[in-house]
Amino acid sequence: MINEATLRQVMATVLQVPEESIGPNASMDNVATWDSLRHMNLILALEEEFGTSIPDEDAANLTSYALLKVVLEELLSET
């Protein structure tokens, strides 16, 4: 199980939004600052924070908090 507070904090920092605006429904569709460049930076920041590597074929599709959480939990349970 990942630390959701850490996930929210990293997302808020990279996306430059208040941490309280990052919740289960946060996605590229409803976070105005979440563009393609910040998305790449977000993936890199999450990999560094959680000490894992997100496969490139998954990274492009991880466009919501919920998807990021699920994939990170799967990757971390494999280690």
Q: Kindly report the CATH number assigned to the domain that includes residue 38.
A: 1.10.1200.10
Print the domain residue range for 37. 4-77
Q: What is the pLDDT along the chain (79 residues), one digit of tens a residue?
A: 799 999 999 999 999 999 999 999 999 999 999 999 999 999 999 999 999 999 999 999 999 999 999 999 999 998 6
Alpha-carbon gap, residue 51 to 37, rounded angstroms: 21
Q: Given this model, what pLDDT does residue 40 score?
A: 97
* Number of structural domains found in the chain: 1
Q: At what angle do helices 4-15 and 36-50 cross, to 10 degrees?
A: 140
Alpha-carbon gap, residue 56 to 19, rounded angstroms: 26
**Residues in contact with 20: Cβ distance below 8 Å, sequence separation at least 6, in sequence order:** none
